[in-house]
Structure 1
Amino acid sequence: MRTRAIVALRGLLALPKEEARYYTAAMDSAGQPLSGKCSYTLTGGAIEARWWSITLYDRAGWLVPNRWSRHSVGSATIPADQAQSWTINVSPQQQAGLWIPTGTDKDFELTLRAYRPRGMMATDPGRVTLPTITKGECQS
Structure 2
Amino acid sequence: MFRLPVLVALTLAIAFGGGVWSASWTLQATSGFGAIRLGPWSAYPELQTASADPFAKAHRAGDGRLLLGRAEGLVFTASSDETGTPLSGRCSYEVSGSTPPARFWTLRVIDENGAALEAPPRVPTSLNSWTTLRKADGSFSIRLDSVATAGNWMWLDAEGEISLVLTLIDSPAAASLNMVELDMPKISRIGCTDA
TM range, smaller chain: 0.7 to 0.9
Higher-RCO chain (CA-CA 8 Å, sequence separation at least 6): 1
Q: 1:27-52 CA distances to partner (integer Å, 9 max, x unpaired)? A: 00110010111110000225300000
Q: Give the SS at the match of 1:77.
A: coil
Contact conserved, 2:89 with 2:161, CA < 8 A, in 1?
yes
CA RMSD of superposed structures (Å)? 2.2
Output the CA distance in 1 between the equivalents of 2:158 and 2:137: 29
Deviation at 1:90, TM superposition (A): 0.9
Contact conserved, 1:10 with 1:61, CA < 8 A, in 2?
no
TM-score after normalising by structure 1? 0.86
Q: Is 2:189 the counterpart of 1:135? A: yes
Q: Which residue number in structure 2 is paired with residue 24 of structure 1? A: 77
* The structure with more helix, counted as a fraction of residues: 2
Q: 1:5-32 CA distances to partner (integer Å, 9 max, x unpaired)? A: 43352837x1111101011000001100
The equivalences for 1:43-58 within 5 A come to 43-58=96-111
Output the CA distance in 1 between the equivalents of 2:159 and 2:144: 13
Q: 1:91-130 CA distances to partner (integer Å, 9 max, x unpaired)? A: 1222221111113032100010000012x45313333121
Output the CA distance in 1 between the equivalents of 2:59 and 2:125: 21
Output the CA distance in 2 between the equivalents of 1:59 and 1:122: 29
Look at both structures and tell me which one has the larger radius of gyration over its CA atoms.
2
Unmatched runs of 5 consecutive residues or more in structure 2: 1-53
Q: Is 2:154 the counterpart of 1:96? A: no
TM-score after normalising by structure 2? 0.63
Percentage of identical aligned residues: 25
Aligned length: 138
Unmatched runs of 5 consecutive residues or more in structure 1: none
Output the CA distance in 1 between the equivalents of 2:150 and 2:68: 33
Output the CA distance in 1 between the equivalents of 2:113 and 2:64: 8
Q: Please tell me the residue identity of whatever aligns with 2:128.
A: G
